[in-house]
A and B are shown apart, each in its own frame.
Chain A
């Protein structure tokens, strides 16, 4: 199965305590997020946007041949 690199930003990275990790054995975005939220319960309730191989996606998507998924939360500070 493919190995997908996860890039985390902002509060998502802070709660995961890492900016990078990898996930195996997932076929779509929903599965990937479910697995991540089990591994990192602290991100369970966070709102963030997902990018697959640097493409902004809405909803679910097949992850075959995907190299990287980015988790992109909003920032508020100024």
Chain B
């Protein structure tokens, strides 16, 4: 008897499919709403090796859907916590941890090590980047995405009818055309359903049973159980906006304007800022008040900041704040996309109730 007994006795699955599954590998991009449930089922099913790439930290607002994490995990790295939880459940599981965001610099080398990729990311920049990388490497990609009460699932670069994301959506939407799930809200069960469907597709493909969604897209509506499925047709003339080689890919600029930002509280920010490799930066313009006092920080107004300056280049942890947290969050997402550093934005900025300025005023 093994923990896979129930699928080994399953008609149409059996020992052979199980062995294939156990000798294969999957890379899960994003340990978020889609990634968490997918990881749990992939691990339970016995996929031989699982890679988890995510540079984000657990935050409290993740907990309605990112079910590998709990209250005590906030502020910790998602990739590391997810791996720890899965390893606690299955001691034989092989997990590779990449606590970083997918970039044009790490994508190719990371994806190359896996048989298949599961897209659980949460922004168009990463989705297009991942699609292009998988396309160049000819790796099957199981893409899942959500919008409010609706989900989307597709199996790309797989089987006989090989299509990619750009066949369906040639160009990324304009910035702010479609809000991400942070802004528009989501019921936690929806990514649970879509992420689980992604895991099912990955298991079907890796075990040799085959995907019935290969080359297709499925839309699913949580409100009424309606679904819509169709074949994705290849674009006769694809826009000239996609990298043609790995070399070109590495130089490509993807617009990553989503919530790669680590928003933290003043309490946490001031703790991190004490480390020698940390810097705390006020992004506000000279005339903006009140000023922070009693803490070591740099004044680098957004209008004049030079991101290649010595202070930023040599720091590992960069903590940004502004008046209300909006500018710092925006700027953090820009810095985050390719830096390899830990970039934080202080939630609510200097005007937040928690800020040291306000705490002083209240005695």
- A-to-B contact residues, CB < 8 Å: 7, 9-11, 14, 19, 45-47, 49, 51, 54-58, 70, 72-78
Cross-chain pair count, CB within 8 angstroms? 101
Determine if B231 and A77 form an interchain contact, defined as CB atoms under 8 angstroms apart.
Answer: no
A76 with B147, Cβ < 8 A, contacts A9-B219, A49-B168 known:
yes
The answer, yes or no, to whether B348 is at the interface (CB within 8 Å) is no
B101 to chain A, nearest CB (A): 13
A-B contact pairs, 14 of them (CB 8 A): A9-B150, A11-B177, A46-B173, A47-B177, A51-B228, A55-B233, A56-B217, A56-B232, A58-B235, A73-B178, A74-B152, A75-B178, A78-B35, A78-B122
User: Any chain A CB within 8 A of the CB of B283?
Assistant: no
Which B48-84 residues have a C-beta within 8 angstroms of A?
none
A69 to B208, alpha carbons, bound, how many Å? 35
Question: By the criterion CB–CB under 8 Å, are A11 and B121 in contact?
Answer: no
Q: How far is the CA of A73 from the CA of B229 in the complex (A)?
A: 14
Min distance, Cβ B146 to any Cβ of chain A, angstroms: 4
B150 touches A10 (CB 8 A): yes
Chain A residues closer than 8 Å to B180, beta-carbon distance: 76-77
A7 to chain B minimum Cβ distance, whole angstroms, is: 7
Q: Are A75 and B230 in contact (CB under 8 A)?
A: no
Contact A47 B186, beta carbon cutoff 8 Å: no
Judge whether B347 is part of the interface by a CB distance below 8 angstroms.
no
Given contacts A11-B178, A55-B230, A56-B232, are A78 and B169 in contact (CB under 8 A)?
A: no
Closest to A70 in B: B228
Q: Please give, as numbers and ranges, the residues of chain B lying within 8 Å of A58 by CB-CB distance.
A: 233, 235-236
Question: Could you say which residues of chain A place their CB within 8 Å of the CB of B122?
Answer: 76-78
A76 and B230 within 8 A (CB)? no
Contact indicator A78/B191 (Cβ below 8 Å): yes
Given A47-B171, A49-B169, A75 and B228 touching (CB < 8 A)? Answer: no
Given contacts A47-B173, A49-B169, 14 further A-B pairs with CB under 8 A are A10-B148, A19-B221, A56-B230, A72-B217, A72-B219, A74-B168, A74-B173, A75-B147, A75-B150, A76-B178, A77-B184, A77-B191, A78-B32, A78-B181
Q: Which residues of A contact B230 (CB under 8 A)?
A: 51, 54-56
Q: Which size bracket describes the interface of B in this complex? A: 35 or more
Complex CA–CA separation, A47 to B124 (angstroms) = 13
Alpha-carbon gap, A58 to B173, bound state (A) = 17
Among A7, A47, A57, the one with the most B-chain Cβ atoms within 10 Å of its Cβ is: A47
Per the bound structure, the CA–CA distance linking A10 and B148 in Å amounts to: 8
For residue B140, CB closer than 8 A to chain A, the reply is no
On chain A, the residues within 8 Å of B152 by CB distance are: 10, 74-75
Which one of B32, B119, B173, B221 has the greatest number of beta carbons of chain A within 10 Å? B173
Q: How far is the CA of A54 from the CA of B169 in the complex (A)?
A: 16
- Are B145 and A75 neighbours in the complex by a CB distance under 8 Å? yes
Which of the residues A7, A47, A77 comes within 8 Å of B169, measured between beta carbons? A47
CB-CB under 8 A from B35, the residues of chain A are 78
6 residue pairs, one from A and one from B, having the closest CB atoms: A77-B181, A78-B122, A75-B145, A75-B147, A77-B146, A10-B147
Answer whether residue B349 sits at the interface, using C-beta atoms and an 8 A cutoff: no
**Residue interface mask B184-198, A partner, CB < 8 A = 1:** 101000010000000
Residues of B within 8 A of A77 (CB): 33, 122, 145-147, 180-181, 184, 186, 191
Q: Does B88 contact A (CB under 8 A)?
A: no
Interface: B46 (CB within 8 A): no
Docked CA distance A19–B169 (Å): 21
CA distance in complex: A49, B167 (Å):
10
Given A11-B178, A51-B230, A56-B233; A76-B123 close (CB under 8 Å): yes
Query: Is B258's CB within 8 Å of the partner chain A?
Result: yes
